[in-house]
Amino acid sequence: MGKTIYDIIDSTIKEIKNVEDYYQIYMDNGIINIYNPFKVYENTSIVSENFNKICNNKIIDVQYLEEEFIKIILENGYGIKISILDEDFSESEAINIYFDSGEIIVF
C-alpha cells in the first residue's frame, strides 16, 4: 500500500524555504511543496508566517477535511493550515509531498 498524508506524522520539520511562488518544507524524510495559501498558527491563533516556531519540531498529527484544508500539527502547539478550497488553487495542485522513498502524494 502506498503512502498517505498521515505518513508525515512523526516526521521532523527541518527547514522552510520560499522558492519563487511556493514554499518548501524540508522534513527528515522528504519535502512538502505548498502552492496554495496557508497560515501558521499557535493553538487557535493565526501567527502568519512565523517559521521560527515550526522548524525543528515533530509532526504529531494531520487533519484532512476534503476540499477544505489540511492541518499539520506540531509537538509545540504550532501548526500549518493549508487551504485546499477550489478558489485558492494557483497551480494544478495545492500541495505535494515527496518522500525519500520515492513516493509522491499530490493534493
Q: What does the pLDDT look like over 3-23, one tens digit per residue?
A: 999 999 999 999 999 999 999
CA 30 to the chain's CA centroid: 11
Angle at 5 (CA atoms; ends 105, 86), nearest 5 degrees? 70
What pLDDT, on a 0 to 100 scale, did the predictor assign at position 13?
Answer: 97
Q: What does the pLDDT look like over 56-83, one tens digit per residue?
A: 999 999 999 998 999 999 999 999 999 9
Residue 65 exposure: Cα atoms within 13 Å on the Cβ side: 7
Bridge partners (DSSP) of residue 93 are none
What pLDDT, on a 0 to 100 scale, did the predictor assign at position 48?
Answer: 66
